[in-house]
Amino acid sequence: MNHLLYAIAVLSALGFGQAMAEENPDAGMNILLLTKSSGFEHSVIKQNASGTSHVERILTPIAKEMGATLECTKDASKINADSLKKYDVVIFYTSGELTETGEDGHPAMPAGGMDDLLAWIQAGGGFLGFHAATDSCRTGNGPTPYIKMIGGEFVTHGAQFEGVIKKVDGEHPAIVSLPERWPLQDEWYLFRNLDKENMHVLALLEIGNERNKQDKYNIPDYPMVWCKGYGEGRILYNGMGHREDVWEHAIFKALVKEHLLWVSGEGPVNAAPNYTETVPDTLP
Ligand SMILES: [Zn+2]
């Protein structure tokens, strides 16, 4: 046996080949950002002449810092069992019925795409939804399987105002950078079909004086950031992010990073349902 063959034999015996094969998946998380808008396309995810959107330009350096690989797409046909295998985390900033081509003209999700997505999360995938993610795939009789998964359904919103994001779970690894109370100007979604039995509320929207200004918001404070366990997988929804300057905020960027790490499986799950302890049960 010459030296080269000997070296190969020794390395094989040590399982070196296997370690090499696993090197890529271990190098960092693989993230897919889907911004397909079958309904309304938000300005923050509109691609400019150079083919990038505001959200993509914010997320790209964040992913780089984390040693992660970020793929940004408006092609919802990538939501299928085969291509989902490549990713650790899928981010949705989507709108409308994704199985329809709809307003932005980008490819729709295949008919079985939703089942594939839900099965992928069940098997250990990480799902992160921002803002319009709850305004997606919601046409059906009662809450759709997607809405049940994400944990809430967009109903409407009023005029933008400065609300206060109030931290509910001070220990949670997915929101370490969130101050106890964070005043923030944004467009605040109102929800129905909140998955109260299964959601772990991370932060509420404190409505404050806006109750007296807009009838829509004359309701108790309600969840704006929550997470859930889902089979072996993890889900987090953050209702913020309509406005460009929200994405530019240092706190929001830090939160994005913490959300990504948590949904990817880092740290304890800490997703036990806590709705009744944190939210007045007078909510619709
Ligand atoms: Zn919006």
Q: How far is the CA of 186 from the centre of ligand 1 (A)?
A: 8
Residues 158 and 141: their CA atoms lie apart, in Å, by 25
pTM more than 0.85 = yes
State the distance from the centre of ligand 1 to the C-alpha of 133, rounded, in angstroms.
10
Three-state DSSP state, 237: strand
The Å distance, Cα 85 to ligand 1 centre, comes to 30
CA distance 111 to 96: 15
Q: Are 228 and 234 in contact (CB under 8 A)?
A: yes
How far does residue 244's CA lie from ligand 1's centre (Å)?
A: 11
187 alpha carbon – ligand 1 mean position (Å): 6
- Beta strands 126-130 and 89-92 are parallel
Burial of 59 (0-12, 13-18, 19+ CB in 10 A): buried
Residue list, CB under 5 A from ion ligand 1: 187, 242
- Domain ranges for the chain, please list them: 30-278
Ligand 1 center from residue 46 Cα (angstroms) = 13
Regions of the chain where pLDDT drops below 50: 1, 4-25, 282-284
DSSP state, residue 109: P
Both tokens assigned to 183? 């005043």
- The residues near 14 (Cβ < 8 Å, ≥ 6 apart) are none
CA 200-206-212 angle, to 5 degrees, is 140
The CA 45 to ligand 1 mean position distance, Å, reads 11
The contacts found for 254-257 with CB under 8 angstroms, 24 or more apart, are 254/176, 254/177, 255/175, 255/177, 255/178, 256/58, 256/59, 256/62, 257/62, 257/65, 257/66
185 Cα to the center of ligand 1, angstroms: 12
Q: What pLDDT sits at residue 10?
A: 46
Rounded Cα–Cα distance for residues 62 and 157 (Å) = 29
Distance 136 CA to ligand 1 centre (A): 12
CATH code: domain 30-278 is 3.40.50.880
Structure tokens at 80: 């299928």
